[in-house]
Structure 1
Amino acid sequence: MIEEVIEAFKNKDYQTAARLLRQLAQDEPNNPWVQIYIAHLHEVKQQLKEAETIYRKLLIDSTNPKIISQARQGLKRLETIEKEERKQALNQANADPNNQQFGVLLLEPIDPQNKSNAAKTLAKIMQIDPYTARLQLPTRGWRIYRTGPVGELQFYASSLQSGSIPCFWVKLVDIQNINIFNVKYFSESNSIKTTIICQNPHGEVGSLTFNWSEVTQSVEGRLPLFEQVVDVDARHKLQRKTKTLDYINFCDLHLPARKSILRINDLQYQFQQGIRLSSKTENTQNGAIKIPILSQATNRINWNKLRNFINLQLPQIPIWSDFTSFAETAIDYKEMLSRLPAHIDLLRREETPWDSAFQLYSGLAFLKNTY
């Protein structure tokens, strides 16, 4: 009967081939030639995963050189089909002018127990070896995986998500369009609303009043301050090095309804202006906040008091605080970061990708949890 199957395939009579193979599968379920043609029938029907499963099983179980050769040829055909489908899908995605905007694709953390299977999936989709794929999968925090036209990123994201690899992508312009207000100080506040003195995206200083309920989440991070130092190497020669002098604490408050981020940092916040802070902030019966006189304290203590004040008003909002591990890989994407204004003015001697990395991290959190 197997000769009749071969003849049906030659004549492209797949209906007859399917009928014969159903009978053969019952009569000779362990016959490798029957399995070869069942896999080939799956190919014809574009059931590529089913065909691949059979071919790979035959490679493991069979010792017949002809069967092994047929299975390898089948897998090669499947690879060619997948490459062509991938090429066509990418061409179609990039054909839309709206999909030419620049974007970034990020991998989300994956359960370490699932990493091995996920690495095989990632390797297949991105056509890389499984070992490299495993190294690229994060187990904590986001990792930038690819940049480029959003049509291409959308295609890869869809493929990865179908393979149970969590990821997301955004257009860089959507982050650029978020309004950033650099906070000088809180001028007034009660349990319902507060007023800040801030600098708007156009560099103008003014006041902004908002309800605490408008804040849906916050982002925290530390940005390094660098300095050039002269050091002596092992040969007693002078050499210039870049050294981290200090770290500046940042806190972004997200107001998605206003498409705005309020940015606070401990270097430029004017602690001697506006409301006075204490380690504990008490609410009076009418809802107004009673704030004792500020004691003389270090900048770090002042910052902790400010964070305590904010946390008391926003006790249950999510806090994104994994910036450092994100930035350690993000700063390698200098060309992409150069496209993103940081809205951070620390009077640096030279620009650093760390500032734009924080803007990117906060913007990603803003967009991912807003839309």
Structure 2
Amino acid sequence: MLDYVIAAFERQDYQAAAQLLQPLLQTSPENPWVQFYAGRLYEELGELESAQKVYRSLLKNVTNTKLLSQIRQGLQRLETLIQEQRQRGIAQATTGSNNNQLGVLVLEAISSESKTVAAQNFAQIMEIEPYAARLQLPSRGWRFYKSGTIGELQFLGQELRAAGIPCFWANIAEINQIRVFQVSYIQHAEPQATVICQNEQGQMGAMSFEWSEVSDRILGLLPIFEQVVDRDVRGKLQRKTKTQDYAHFCDLVLPSRGCILRIHDNSYEYQKGVTKIDKSDRSTIRISWNSLLDFLSLQLPTTPIWSDFSPFAETVIDQIELLKRIPSNIHLFRRTPSTWDSAFMLYSTLVSIKAANKKEENI
């Protein structure tokens, strides 16, 4: 019977091959040659993932030299076909000016239980070693993975999602459209919240909003660097850049308005508004800042808080050319610019974009 199957493949009569294989798969399912030709049938019918699964399963158990050779040839053909399909898909996805805009692809946290299978799928899609793939998948928070044309990133992102790997993508133009207002102080909390704030051009004004408009709170620590003199292992003096302190930021995301209200611990005017602190109070900025955060928690008791900025930043701060395209809207005194500032802007605006997308999905 197997000879008839082989003959059907040789004359490319795959319908006959399928009919002949069906009884063999029932009577001799463990026969490696029967399994191999089942994989060949998947391959010829264009079901490449099913064919790969059969070939790889056989590769672990088969010892017959002739069959091993044919299995390896089949896997090679599949890899070539999949690569060609991917290249065609990327080419189609990047057609058009909008799809050629610069964007970012971000990996989301995946549970440890799902990581083994996800790493294998990730390795196959990205053509890297499974061990390296596992290290790339975050267990907590987000990980910047790559930048490129938004069409290509969307194509890859859809492949990843289909393989059970959570991710999302956004283009830089969309990121830079989100406005940022620097909050000087919260003037009123009821019946609406009103903040005195400054726009990107430095103009002061008031903005009123409902607390329910705030979809997310984002907390971030930005390192403050200083040049210090230290001694090396030989006792010689040398200049080093060290982190001397951290600036605290809290962003309030208002997706329906396409903006972020940014609060900075060192520029907030604690002596004004509803969070007014008596001038005679000798509270430190840190105590005042914590009191402000407590006040916000009372107004926004169920609002999600994002506090995983630092691990995300570690994955993107070396992307200097990318971050140059993202104005930070952060006004810290620095002797030299720092990519940490634009990294926080990227993190905060990505939260805002996801919030806006979620709001649209719920409409």
Category of TM-score, reference length = shorter chain = over 0.9
Q: Is 1:236 aligned to 2:235, yes or no?
A: yes
**1:1-371 pair list within 5 angstroms:** 1-190=1-190, 192-277=191-276, 295-371=281-357
Name the larger-Rg structure. Answer: 1
Aligned residue type for 2:53: T
Q: Separation in 2 of the partners of 1:140 and 1:327?
A: 13
Distance change in 2, residues 1:305/1:31 (3 Å):
closer
- Deviation string for 1:334-356 (max 9, x for gaps)? 22111100001112111001111
- Deviation string for 1:75-130 (max 9, x for gaps)? 11111111111111111111222111111101111111221111111000000011
Pick which of 159-168 and 7-16 moved more.
7-16
Aligned residues: 357
Is residue 275–residue 292 contact of structure 2 (8 Å, CA) maintained in 1?
A: no
**Identical-residue share of aligned pairs (%):** 51
Pick which of 32-41 and 242-251 moved more.
32-41
Q: Separation in 2 of the partners of 1:78 and 1:226?
A: 52
Is residue 271–residue 279 contact of structure 2 (8 Å, CA) maintained in 1?
A: no
Aligned residue type for 1:262: L
Is residue 277–residue 306 contact of structure 1 (8 Å, CA) maintained in 2?
A: no
Aligned residue type for 1:268: S
Cα distance, 1:276 vs structure 2:
4.1
Is residue 277–residue 294 contact of structure 1 (8 Å, CA) maintained in 2?
A: no
Cα distance, 1:369 vs structure 2:
1.8
Aligned residue type for 2:341: D
Aligned residue type for 1:122: F
Q: Separation in 2 of the partners of 1:29 and 1:313?
A: 64
Q: Separation in 2 of the partners of 1:194 and 1:58?
A: 65
Q: Separation in 2 of the partners of 1:86 and 1:276?
A: 56
Aligned residue type for 2:126: M
Q: Separation in 1 of the partners of 2:250 and 2:166?
A: 27
Cα distance, 1:5 vs structure 2:
2.0
Report the TM-score when normalising by structure 1.
0.92
Cα distance, 1:188 vs structure 2:
2.9
Is residue 255–residue 355 contact of structure 2 (8 Å, CA) maintained in 1?
A: no
Cα distance, 1:60 vs structure 2:
2.2
Q: Separation in 2 of the partners of 1:83 and 1:265?
A: 48
Aligned residue type for 1:180: V
Q: Separation in 1 of the partners of 2:253 and 2:17?
A: 62
Aligned position for 2:361: none
Is residue 277–residue 305 contact of structure 1 (8 Å, CA) maintained in 2?
A: no
Aligned position for 1:283: none
Q: Separation in 2 of the partners of 1:188 and 1:2?
A: 82
Cα distance, 1:25 vs structure 2:
2.7
Cα distance, 1:293 vs structure 2:
7.8
RMSD: 1.6
Structure 2, unpaired ranges of 5+: 358-363
Distance change in 2, residues 1:73/1:294 (3 Å):
farther
Cα distance, 1:10 vs structure 2:
1.9
SS of the residue 1:183 aligns to:
strand
SS of the residue 1:347 aligns to:
coil
Q: Separation in 2 of the partners of 1:4 and 1:189?
A: 82
Q: Separation in 2 of the partners of 1:140 and 1:160?
A: 18
Q: Separation in 2 of the partners of 1:101 and 1:240?
A: 41
Pick which of 68-77 and 127-136 moved more.
68-77
Aligned residue type for 2:42: H
Report the TM-score when normalising by structure 2.
0.94
Pick which of 323-332 and 150-159 moved more.
323-332
Is residue 276–residue 293 contact of structure 1 (8 Å, CA) maintained in 2?
A: no
Distance change in 2, residues 1:26/1:257 (3 Å):
closer
SS of the residue 1:270 aligns to:
coil
Q: Separation in 2 of the partners of 1:232 and 1:63?
A: 63
Aligned position for 1:287: none
SS of the residue 1:345 aligns to:
coil
Q: Separation in 2 of the partners of 1:353 and 1:293?
A: 36
